[in-house]
Amino acid sequence: MDVNLSSEDLAFQQEVRDFLQNNAHDPKTDYAQWRLNWFELAKAKGGWDVPKWPEAFGGPGWSPTQHYIWEKETAVAQTPWDLPFGLSMLAPVLMNYGNEEQQQRFLPDIRARKVNWCQGYSEPNAGSDLANLKTKAELSEDGTYYTVNGSKIWTTLAHIADWIFCLTRTSDTGKKQEGITFLLIPMHQEGIEVKPIITLGGAHSVNMVHLTDVKVPVENLVGEEGKGWGYAKGLLAHERTGLAGISRSLVALDHLRIQASGVKRGNATLLDDPAYKSKLAELEIDLLATEFTELRSLASAANGAEPGPESSILKLKGTEIQQRIQKLTVEAGGIYSAAWGKQPVGHSFAKGGMAGYLSSRAYTIYGGASEVQKDVVAKNVLGLKKAK
């Protein structure tokens, strides 16, 4: 695709910049209120609050270049935080496989950022081998509700979620990919217990979720019973594309250069150090190459295609790049990166560097581990056959 911006694209870029500048957060005002207003204002621009949604569901119908511009500009500006679970993971499933009633019931609240969702896929013995999942859903004799029993693990933000979209097993016969059913389950009800898991960086973002005799009305079944695997796979491709974070990494690389230029090395700075400079250059080359894969993915999405196996290349390379940025941040911060607690020490950017680095180890695990992405690329992109 042509990435030189036309005069129309340049005008769009200016419009986006104006919007982001005019609606930036004023630190004197309440952040939560500003955040909700920001999405309303973006909506009034014609679907800018849901850039990736199709036009039929209120999206802006942008060209790939307009998406590219939006990603870049919003990565630079301080746009409000957003969670992917409802907006970019569940919403496409509901649009493709949910019935009209479910679309009308759930999509408006997802769009308004009023309801938090979490993703109940992984289980203690079902991660990379997700189809091994055992959480059981049994339909009542009168066919009006399911009773769900089992445990989910690593469930991000389950402790603040209102709902969980869950893969459950409704049948044990046939291939293990069959008999998986996609259910929407309210979190605030009897039988759901959320237990925190504290990760390496000291943060609480993931949880165990235990479901004991949880009743779920059949209205909350998405698509057909037993066909959930097909829906889940589509959702994973959306998740992987979103996790690559290329535009954010480009901005982080710029910050890294500024930070390194403030760290003294003899009479010069870390940015003049040939070894460090060479690592930054390698990072930039990989980042730009990955950016072009993202552009190809955007181009096919704009033609109506679902994300394909290239989403695995994006996930693999994008998350490795994010980890390298964290590592170089720690290198720039030196011993000060290990500082914990409230008091900043050393360079202003250094505090929490090590915590960020440790947390970043998970990037190449969640959303599908790197080894699994390599399998997908080998099979579906390169067309390689399994060794006998």
Is the Cβ of residue 132 or residue 212 nearer to ligand FAD in the bound state?
132
Q: Which of 99, 128, 212, 380 binds ligand FAD (CB under 6 A)?
A: 128
Residue 127 within binding range of ligand FAD, rule CB under 6 A: yes
SS3 content of the chain, % helix, strand, coil (to 5): 50, 15, 35
Over the window 16 to 35, marking each residue x when it contacts ligand FAD by CB under 6 A and - when it does not, the resulting string is --------------------
DSSP string, 316-357: HHHHHHHHHHHHHHHHHHGGGGG--SS---SSTTTTTHHHHH
Residue number with the shortest CB distance to ligand FAD? 127
Is the Cβ of residue 118 or residue 271 nearer to ligand FAD in the bound state?
118
Residue 211 within binding range of ligand FAD, rule CB under 6 A: no
Is the Cβ of residue 167 or residue 256 nearer to ligand FAD in the bound state?
167
Q: Which of 206, 235, 244, 246 binds ligand FAD (CB under 6 A)?
A: 206
Taking a C-beta distance cutoff of 8 angstroms, is the pair 263, 269 a contact?
Answer: yes
What's the maximum distance between 2 C-alpha atoms anywhere in the chain? 80
Is the Cβ of residue 50 or residue 235 nearer to ligand FAD in the bound state?
235
3-class DSSP state of 386 = coil
**Kind plus residue range of the DSSP H or E element containing 206:** strand 204-217
Residue 282 a catalytic site member: no
Catalytic residue among 225, 239, 294, 310: 239
Plot region of 90 (φ>0 → left; ψ -120 to 50 → alpha; else → beta):
alpha
3-class DSSP state of 380 = helix
Rounded to the nearest whole angstrom, what is the least distance from the CB of residue 296 to ligand FAD in the complex? 25
Residue 365 within binding range of ligand FAD, rule CB under 6 A: yes
Q: Which of residues 63-122 bind ligand FAD (CB under 6 A)?
A: 118-122
Q: Which of 187, 256, 354, 362 binds ligand FAD (CB under 6 A)?
A: 362
Residue 384 within binding range of ligand FAD, rule CB under 6 A: no
CA gap 258, 34 in Å, rounded: 29
Residue 326 within binding range of ligand FAD, rule CB under 6 A: no
Half-sphere exposure of 386 (CA within 13 A, CB side): 3
Interface with ligand FAD: number of residues (CB under 6 A): 19
SS3 per residue for 1-33: CCCCCCHHHHHHHHHHHHHHHHCCCCCCCCHHH
Q: Which of 96, 156, 269, 323 binds ligand FAD (CB under 6 A)?
A: 156
Query: Which residues contact ligand FAD (rule: CB under 6 A)?
Result: 118-122, 127-128, 154-156, 206, 362, 365-366, 368-369, 371-372, 375
